[in-house]
Structure 1
Amino acid sequence: MGIVELPPATARQLGASLDIVDPLALTKELLENSIDAGATHISILISPNAVDRILVRDNGSGISPEDFHALGRRSHTSKLETIDDLQERGIKTLGFRGQALASANSIAAITITTRTRGDAVASQLRLKHGVGGVEGMNLTSAPAGTTVRAECLFETMPIRKRYAVKESQKTLSKINELLRAYALARPDIKVSFKVLKDSKNGWDYAPSRTATLQDAAMQIFGRELLNQCNYVEMKPDSPNAGDELNVGGGIVLGLQAFLPKLGLDRTKAKAKGRFFSVNSRPIASNRGISLKFISTVKTFLSDISGGHTASGRPSIPFIQINIQCDPGRYDVNLTPLKDEILFAEEEEVVRCFEALCRTVYQQPAQEAHQSEERSRHEVDCSVMLQGVGKHPTPDSSPLGKIY
């Protein structure tokens, strides 16, 4: 067979199945679109088998009618114009490639209901499957914001569909964890998750108007777990930051973290997850710089415990780290899901995190050791004083033998 050009429909299907590999990936992309639209309330509804329906509703800015023609078309986006914008604008939005909705439109039937705050009524749009653009439109009543409904996922990919259905319970669990990651990274956004005809898998996060990371962690995980963690925050302008947060090349970092305490009680701190984010963008916990952070914490825990813990190895049932840094100092365009970060000065960023860990682990350990030494010395002195008092030396002060 000679070299031929693939039919456009085949090329779209092949590309879409790489961009969106499963229902979790589609949920993540739609969630990020809602966040980029400025939503403060996002609700997600999904069918039990994870392929019949995924619906994401938000109260964001909505889509302007003049942009309807571009919906679902590959490489159409409002988030950047040239590759040069990637470092400045791409990292300020969670999405930037203009591929997610087009890929979704190639593996599912997409209906969008949207209204901007300037529109009198909402528009319900049916996208041209696989191509993009509007196939049909109706006017309807709906609040400002956007609802995207994806139905019949992987209908033309039977193997992928069967696998997605088989893994549906794992997918629902992963979506729960995904939403927790975004709530920790964006604690001011209200999120609700429901599974049709299944109340057990639902999840809600309802923040106050001024919610912080600590508030989100408390609501999501509870006091019992957080009592087993140290919360530490180092801002670039804080007086105790010193030079530790000044990374090579003039970069200045800010760090927020929940780290496991020394002497962690594993019976009270069951595994709850590992969560990492950079400038409020959640990133994967099982690769890249996240693994280096985990390794650093384990090293400190192991060193301070003398190379062993009560359970035989350091325990990290829960860890959360958020990095704030200068825009343009990392590349997020590494994976289809945009969930990994490549820092230009990665070793310096790790060194900065090591400095944070020293303040959490080494300094308290040293202070505890010094306190123990002082207590021991005071006990020794007390014993000596008691001995002198009981057996006074003639013609001398009871304290005369103490030097």
Structure 2
Amino acid sequence: MNDIIQLLPDNIANQIAAGEVIQRPASAVKELLENAVDAGATEIKLLVADAGKALVQVIDNGKGMSDTDARMAFERHATSKIRQIEDLFRIKTMGFRGEALASVAAVAQVEMKTRRAEDELGTYIEIENSKVIKQEVCSYPVGTSISMKNLFFNVPARRNFLKSNAAELRHIMDEFIRVAMAFPEIFFSLTSNGQEVFHLEPGTLKQRIVQILGNTYNAKLVSVGEKTDYMNIYGFVGKPETARKTRGDQYFFVNSRFIKSAYLNHAVNTAFDEMIPKDSFPGYVLFIDLDPSQVDINVHPTKQEIKFEDEKIIYAFVQAAVKHALAQFSIAPSLDFTLNADIQGLDAVNKPFTDDKKQAVASSNLYQTFTQKNQAHFIERENKSGELKHWKSFFESPAAESESKTSSNYSSSLLQSITPKAAAIQVLPDTPLLQLHQTYIIASTNSGFILVHQQLAHERILYDKYSVAAHGQQMATQKSLFPATLELAAADAALLQDLLPDLTSIGYQVEPFGNNSFVIQGIPADILPGNEKHAIELLIEQFKHFSSDIKFSKREKLIRCMARQQAIKAGQSLSQKEMLVLVEELFACTSPNVTPTGSPTYLEFKEDYLDRMFGK
């Protein structure tokens, strides 16, 4: 009987590993940029063609490699940074991952040129499908250039799963920004299809933030800086007026590595309590430095999720540091930094601290853990069950809540579509309508009355209108007498460029003006002029952070964002005529009873139900 279990060939094993590490061009960009940083480079250039599908090239002036190291770098589990298992938990460098270059070489055609300062000549290597095709000496300046061409050329099924060029370029920009933000002392540039998108001169962290996120942040950043034996935190938070309705510019770095953490995000949000609206999110770029042994960065292949030894201390520290910064800059009122009368009256505050008491405190475990260097995380846990009581609320970030809402809304929308449609409601003609709390409209019907939510109803009307326009019947455009110029951050400019055809279909006329600028020549005919710049900025912001479990098309996302943005808001006073038009247009819709996300637009109160309520 033949044996059926066999070892995989190296190139197949590498391709499987590559599936975990290299999911799209942006994954390779991250690995290559981090390796360049680790090589001690002061200049790093990223060149991409065809959104990384045709070429990803990183050129650095770092220390370079010997001819043996250049060859070894592409072997699986080859690394310069790990000698024993303990090193895994002391990692201070960036792209240490052993499979990274082997994975790139398994799914692309790779060329590398490298030279060390002590060598007269450099090394040129060509690798395809994990096999070295060519290795020879070459003339090259000190540093390394790695080119990754034709990603997934040998795994066509994977290539088919890549998104549009604009979408893939946005992912590349995200990874580029995350590395460039963490190392402001290094020059970075990004060139796409021969056009320079980013040119970031070395400077301070504040200068780098403004270079990347735009001049609007220049005078609106508050410095954060706290140091202890256990950890340091530094960086900037945006002043409350920079808060956005969607998760905008939020960057957390732990030991210079970008991470995603709903938990730490919650800590910053709570520091802004009562300074920004509940549905807004603050912007920040914050760095936490602590002993690498207190952090496990190996819980996720891309290292974007990490685990702290003691998360509660980190949470409290981040929150306190941000509160302190906001208070120092007189942005917040006094933030609990003074003792209130109840605390002043406690024995511990009033009575003298005798030698006996000093000795008792100094011998306690708690005192020792906080006074010995790097020991704060060894606080003994006496009441674990009590500590765990409220853990859930820390992890329920606003994003998670909104996503669950979207999911439930979608379910209700699905229910609406499979349940029989309600009988047509007829609003009685020549009957005055009543606006309640500038939010609800009460209208008499042939069988009772309806209570219409003006914002949700208008959202449904606009969604239907934009849907028709986006799928063929283009909306009318009103030309601007004085066209507004819109300047965007590079990543937003790339997104807007991608959205231009869809914006045109719903009545916007926006033209590129060079260097991440656009001119707004016209807006949809039924939108009041005067606020078009802000409208497009908000549209981009909403589009970027459109949260949904359902994969909507780009056009669908855009019209949903547009309907939400342009709908008349709760709290807006309406005339009789405006209310009447709103109600009439609502019942002309295909699904007048729900918004696109499944929320009800009105509630119906029937006459017999009202009679029963009054015991008739």
How far the C-alpha of 1:292 sits from its partner, in A, is 1.8
CA distance in 2, matches of 1:221, 1:359: 24
Query: Quick one: distance in 2 between partners of 1:2 and 1:138?
Result: 42
Name the residue aligned to 1:385: none
Contact 1:71–1:127 (CA under 8 A) maintained in structure 2: no
How many residue pairs align between the two structures?
333
**CA displacement at 1:360 relative to structure 2:** 3.3
Q: CA deviation at 1:118?
A: 1.0
Going from structure 1 to structure 2, the CA distance change for 1:346 and 1:368 (only over 3 Å counts) comes to closer
Tell me the distance in 2 between the aligned counterparts of 1:300 and 1:279.
22
C-alpha change, 1:87 and 1:271, in structure 2 (3 Å) is closer
68 and 168 in structure 1: CA distance in 2 versus 1, 3 angstrom threshold: same
In 1, Cα distance between equivalents of 2:251 and 2:312? 20
Q: What CA deviation, in whole Å up to 9, does each residue of 1:267-306 have, x standing for no partner? A: 9x997521111111222x3xxxx2122222323333x24x
Distance 1:140-1:230 versus aligned 2 partners, 3 A rule: same
Confirm or deny: 8 A CA contact 1:79 1:95 kept in the other structure.
no
- Would you say 1:332 and 2:333 are equivalent positions? no
Aligned residue identity for 2:122: A
Moved segments of 4+, more than 3 Å: 269-272, 360-369
Q: Secondary structure at the match of 1:255?
A: strand
Q: Residues 4, 297 of structure 1: CA spacing in aligned structure 2 closer, same or farther, 3 A cutoff?
A: same
Cα distance in 2 for partners of 1:296, 1:368 equals 15
Instruction: Check whether the contact 1:13–1:107 (CA below 8 A) recurs between aligned residues.
Output: yes
Alpha-carbon distance between aligned partners in 1 of 2:83 and 2:32, rounded to the nearest angstrom: 21
Tell me the equivalent position of 2:8: 7
Counterparts in 2 of 1:359 and 1:3: CA distance versus 1, 3 Å: farther
Residue 266 (structure 1) shift: 5.8
Structure 2 partner of 1:277 = 253
Residue aligned with 1:4, SS: coil
Work out which structure has the larger RCO, using CA pairs closer than 8 Å and 6 or more positions apart in sequence.
1
In the TM superposition, residue 252 of structure 1 has moved relative to its aligned partner by: 1.3
Q: Distance in 2 between matches of 1:28 and 1:326?
A: 23
Q: Secondary structure at the match of 1:92?
A: coil
Q: Secondary structure at the match of 1:73?
A: coil
Q: Distance in 2 between matches of 1:51 and 1:161?
A: 8
On the 8 A contact 1:301/1:314 being kept in 2, the answer is: no
Per-residue CA deviation, residues 286-331 of structure 1 (Å, 9 max, x unaligned), is xxxx2122222323333x24xx72xx62332x21110011231111
**Structure 2 match to 1:228:** 220
Match of 2:265?
294
Report the equivalent of 1:150.
Answer: 148
Moved more, 43-52 or 352-361: 352-361
d(CA) in 2 for partners of 1:59, 1:257: 27
Of the candidates 172, 180, 183, which is equivalent to residue 183 of structure 1? 180
Give the CA deviation at 1:340: 2.0
Deviation at 1:141, TM superposition (A): 2.3
What residue number does 1:390 align with?
Answer: none
Distance of 2:326 and 2:63 partners within structure 1: 45
**Deviation digits for residues 11-49 of structure 1 (CA, Å, limit 9, x no counterpart):** 222221222111000111111111111111111111124
Letter matched to residue 282 of structure 1: F
Correspondence for 2:56 among 54, 66, 73: 54
Deviation, structure 1 residue 122: 1.9
Q: What's the offset of the Cα at 1:223? A: 4.1
Q: How does 1:366-377 map to 2 (within 5 A)?
A: 366-367=333-334
Mapped to 2, the partners of 1:265 and 1:253 lie a distance apart of 28
The letter of the residue matching 1:178 is E
Q: Find the counterpart in structure 2 of residue 314 from structure 1.
A: 280
How does 1:132-211 map onto structure 2 within 5 Å? 134-164=132-162, 166-197=163-194, 199=195, 202-207=197-202, 211=203
| 8 Å CA contact retained: 1:46, 1:196 | yes
- The alpha carbon displacement at 1:187 in A equals 0.9
The corresponding residue for 2:130 is 130
Q: Deviations over 1:116-136 (max 9, x none)?
A: 1111122211135325xx431
- Gap change, CA 1:368 and 1:73, over 3 Å in 2: closer
* CA contact 2:22–2:28 (8 Å) conserved in 1: yes
CA offsets per residue over residues 100-146 of structure 1, 9 Å max, x none?
A: 00001100111110111111122211135325xx4312332221001
AA partner of residue 75 (structure 1):
H
Equivalent residue number for residue 245 of structure 1: none
Q: Which residue of 1 aligns with 2:236?
A: 258
Looking at structure 2, the residues matched to 44 and 261 of structure 1 have their Cα atoms a distance apart, in angstroms, of 32
- Relative to structure 1, is the Cα distance of residues 254 and 146 closer, same or farther in structure 2, using a 3 angstrom cutoff? same
Q: Secondary structure at the match of 1:38?
A: coil
8 Å contact from structure 1 (residues 110, 129) kept in 2: no
Aligned-partner Cα distance in 2 for 1:196–1:114: 24
Deviations 1:138-180 (A, max 9, x none): 332221001011111101221221222x332122122222222
Q: Write the letter of the residue equivalent to 2:262.
A: L
The farther-off stretch of 177-186 and 106-115 is: 177-186
| Cα distance in 1 between the residues matched to 2:20 and 2:242 | 42
Q: Say which one has the larger Rg.
A: 2
Aligned equivalents of 1:109 and 1:5: distance in 2? 27
How far apart, CA to CA, are the structure 2 residues paired with 1:202 and 1:272?
A: 20
Deviation at 1:257, TM superposition (A): 2.9
1:231 alignment partner AA: S
Q: Is the 8 A contact 1:104 1:150 kept in 2?
A: yes
Letter in 2 for 1:255: I
Cα RMSD of the aligned pairs, angstroms, is 2.7
State the distance in 2 between where 1:19 and 1:265 align: 35
Distance in structure 2 (CA, Å) of the matches to 1:84 and 1:340 = 20
The normalised TM-score by structure 2 is 0.51
CA, structure 1 residues 277+266, in 2 after alignment: closer, same or farther (shift >3 Å)?
Answer: closer
- Cα distance in 1 between the residues matched to 2:234 and 2:98: 31
Kindly indicate whether the alpha-carbon contact (under 8 Å) linking 2:112 and 2:125 is maintained by their aligned counterparts in 1.
Answer: yes
Relative distance call for 1:367 and 1:81 in structure 2 (3 A) is closer
Unmatched runs of 5 consecutive residues or more in structure 1: 237-250, 370-403
Tell me the SS of whatever aligns to 1:61: coil
Could you list the per-position Cα deviations for residues 158-212 of structure 1 after superposition, in whole angstroms to 9, with x for gaps in the alignment? 1221222x33212212222222222221111111111124x2x6211111xxx32
- Give the drift of 1:220: 2.5
Q: Is 1:344 aligned to residue 309 of structure 2?
A: yes
Selected match of 2:42 from 26, 34, 40: 40
Corresponding residue number in structure 2 for 1:30: 32
| d(CA) in 2 for partners of 1:281, 1:123 | 30
Residue 391 (structure 1) aligns with = none
In the aligned structure 1, how far is the partner of 2:21 from the partner of 2:246?
34
Among candidates 199, 204, 214, match of residue 212 of structure 1: 204
Contact residue 71 and residue 125 of structure 2 kept, 8 A: no
